[in-house]
Copies of this chain bind each other. A is one copy, B any other.
Amino acid sequence: MIITIRQETSGESRAQLMALLCRITGSQRPITTTQMRDREVIAIDSALVDAQAQVALQAQSAVEQIYSPKTPYQLASRSFQTENTSITIGSNSDCTPITIGGNSARPVIMAGPCAVENREQLITTAQAVKRAGAQVLRGGAFKPRTSPYQFQGLGIEGLHLLAEARTLTGLPVITEVMEPGMVETVAQYADVLQIGARNVQNFPLLSAAGHHSKKLPVLLKRGLSSTIDEWLLAAEYIIAAGNPNVILCERGIRSYDPQTRNVLDLSCVPLLHQLTHLPIIVDPSHSTGRRELVPIMSRASIAAEAQGLIIEVHPDPDTALCDGKQSITPEQLEKIVRETALLATMMRGEVSVA
């Protein structure tokens, strides 16, 4: 059940509503509100609201409207918010802000190395992806690795290097955060918080990414075998905790054929556009795990109405400390940027045959 709060509600009316909601839900803590577009909203479990409680809620002067979506996710649902969510990346830092979602038609390309390895590798790559036309720099400082004996990332040092790369290139930075206790720290450096596939149901982390003070955009990757509903409910954790700026990222699902690292489920892109107002991008690198498939699947992703791509790029893929097999060169990236921009133009009906 979603409650929209009337604009210019007095502090008293608001406090009264919160107290009532605490009684209804049995919550000991204050209820969280989320600013979605021009509305402030609260979502709670409908099952806790009986007929009498509903009457009491509707009588509150702070309450503008009450809506009950039919889907288990509420704030993420297209039925609640019909307009696309528009998210600005990079508004708080020394970089060029860009917009994803909303009415924006140009694909947002995020690119960079799997892991930040050292200053030179990062700065070189950052400058190369900037030249290639990417709008956001990706790079892992904290790396979730299957084995404790694999390279785990440079940590805080990696964050410093990312911030430096941003200053040098003007590209906003996306990097992964792996635990709730680190969200505020990573948010000091990053422009987008990435939550990886293995953490899609790390609920304390999702909540922390919702609660954090800067409300930075969160890129939420699909889990290795997430259903669409589970994934949207993971997004709902973030939004319900106060942060509406969630970008979904399809990165392939686990399947039975070792030919590709995962199976890229491109049909989920148009399906998600029906179900949710959140922006959706695709990761052609992790989904295929094969660099030679990245350019073609980038194009197919945009054709499927993805609003962006996140791509692993390395100046010398064969020497990468992590995921070299799926990294492309800056030259290949440039071609992808050009081709997907043309495709997006075509999809708006603005091309003609030569």
Using CB atoms, name the residue of chain B closest to A236.
Answer: B148
Assembled-state Cα–Cα distance A79/B315 (Å): 30
**Contact mask for chain A residues 276-303; partner B; CB cutoff 8 A; 1 contact, 0 none:** 0000000000011010110011011111
Q: Does A267 contact B (CB under 8 A)?
A: yes
Q: Is the CB of B225 within 8 A of A254?
A: yes
- Among B45, B270, B297, B351, the residue within 8 A (CB) of A351 is B351
Across-interface contacts of A207 in B (CB, < 8 A):
148
Name the B residues within 8 Å of A263 (CB-CB).
Answer: 253, 255, 263, 265, 267
Separation in Å of the A135 CB from the closest CB of chain B? Answer: 19
The yes or no answer to A103 lying at the interface (CB within 8 A) is no
State the CA gap A181–B274 with chains docked (Å). 38
Contact with B along A27-64 (1 / 0, CB 8 A): 00000000000000001111100000000000000000
Q: Can you name the residue of chain B whose Cβ is closest to the Cβ of A25? A: B149
* Contact B353 A345, beta carbon cutoff 8 Å: yes
User: If the complex has contacts A144-B201, A352-B352, are A228 and B259 also in contact, measured as CB distance less than 8 A?
Assistant: yes
For A224, what are the chain B residues with a Cβ–Cβ distance below 8 Å? 223-225
Q: How far is the CA of A342 from the CA of B343 in the complex (A)?
A: 10
Q: Is A93 an interface residue (CB 8 A)?
A: no
In the docked arrangement, what's the CA distance between A204 and B179, Å? 7
A271 within 8 Å of B (CB atoms):
yes
Question: What chain B residues lie within 8 Å of A72 (beta carbons)?
Answer: 146-147, 149
Residues of B within 8 A of A203 (CB): 144-145, 148, 178, 198
- Whether the Cβ atoms of A179 and B178 lie closer than 8 Å is no
**CB contact between A271 and one of B74, B256, B290, B304 (< 8 Å): that residue:** B290
A190 contacts partner chain B, Cβ-Cβ < 8 Å: no
Q: How far is the CB of A147 from chain B (nearest CB, A)?
A: 5
Q: Does A305 contact B (CB under 8 A)?
A: yes
| CB of A266 within 8 Å of the partner chain | yes
Closest B residue by C-beta to A197: B201
Proximity bits, A191-231, B CB within 8 Å = 1, else 0: 00000001101111101000000000000000111011110
Most chain B beta-carbon contacts within 10 A, residue among A148, A233, A302, A304: A148
A45 to B148, CA, bound (A): 8
Q: Is the beta-carbon distance between A227 and B240 smaller than 8 angstroms?
A: no
Set of chain B residues within 8 Å of A10, measured between Cβ atoms? none
8 A/B residue pairs, CB under 8 Å, sorted by A: A72-B147, A148-B207, A148-B241, A179-B205, A224-B225, A225-B254, A260-B271, A351-B353
